[in-house]
Amino acid sequence: SRQITQVYGFYDECMRKYGHAGIWKAFTDLFDFMPLSACIENQIFCPHGGLSPSIDTLDQVRKIDRFAEVPHEGPVCDLVWSDPDDRTGWGMSPRGAGYTFGQDITEQFNHNNGLTLIARAHQLVMEGFLWHHDKALVTIFSAPNYCYRCGNQAAIMEVSETMETNFLQFDPAPRRGEEQQAQKRCPDYFL
């Protein structure tokens, strides 16, 4: 939402880099049209955040009218802001939007929809990715050194033709004026 982009610095970054809010407005308008999720080969469900107590099936996700700003509550909000937790069932999110959900919820959703995995983002994880719920769900965080201060790695998940997953981890690019350090990890196809 526009409010969230202001709280977490995107608005300020646009103002700093471009001197006006036009770029921020164009991006936030675009965000209203981005898909809520994707599904890879009917096996890997990919929302930004997580699951919703209002949604049991992928067909229910497909029927949502997406073309609007993310509301503060409801199934759209939940898909964008909910997080996995070490609890059972549903819980209130400490973030104030969406829910937390336990392994039982993940397993039930995957079973009901014939899924093998939920791959989501939305939470900082220090090594770029983190498995949850006995590898039924993975968090993938693709922003290295989040907010220029967290020191985290980022990751990208590759999915092979046989649906096997592999994670590429990477460090942030050096900031302008900083000395470049040797790369710790480099995917083979860059050699």
Q: Where are the beta strands (DSSP E) in 60-163?
A: 83-84, 90-92, 99-101, 117-120, 129-132, 137-140, 154-159
Report which residue type is found at 149.
R
The pTM for the full model equals 0.84
| Tens-digit pLDDT string for the chain (191 aa) | 788 888 878 899 999 999 999 999 999 999 999 999 999 999 999 999 999 999 999 999 999 988 888 888 999 999 999 999 999 999 999 887 889 999 999 999 999 999 999 999 989 999 999 999 999 999 999 989 987 788 999 999 999 999 999 999 999 887 777 665 544 454 454 44
Cβ atoms of residues 109 and 115 within 8 Å: yes
Q: What was the pLDDT predicted at 45?
A: 98
Burial status of residue 166 (CB atoms within 10 A of its CB: 0-12, 13-18, 19 or more): exposed
Q: What was the pLDDT predicted at 191?
A: 42
